[in-house]
Amino acid sequence: QVQLVESGGGLVQAGGSLRLSCAASGRTSSTNDMGWYRQAPGEEREFVARIMWSGGTTYYADSVKGRFTISRDNAKNTVYLQMNSLKPEDTTIYYCHARVWVAATLRDYWGQGTQVTVSP
């Protein structure tokens, strides 16, 4: 089992910045990748960013490219999402996600979510 705990959400004005953190615990030695998704009420969960645990290759949704940066600290089993130039449309709940190898199968784990609110 893997537990993910997010922190760093909050309220910020448009154009401002926030940094989200997600600390993983438990069976983290076989982490394949970690990332962030977001989901507004009544909408589907949307991919935001992902980072490969080995090598550090990153992927971003087009909507956040150039504004958000994902990074990791392998020693702390923590992934970060630095969000700059925030827009009101970035307002929603952000979820940490991890994919971990368990018995030759990739399993998905999710955090509880953290609210990000961007005021106009």
Cα dihedral sign for 41, 43, 47, 48? negative
Average pLDDT per run of 10 along the chain, which is 120 residues long?
94 98 91 96 95 95 98 94 97 97 93 97
Structure confidence at residue 1 (pLDDT)? 86
The Cα angle at residue 85 between residues 79 and 89, in degrees rounded to 5: 90
Structure confidence at residue 117 (pLDDT)? 98
Structure confidence at residue 24 (pLDDT)? 95
Structure confidence at residue 58 (pLDDT)? 98
Structure confidence at residue 27 (pLDDT)? 84
Structure confidence at residue 28 (pLDDT)? 81
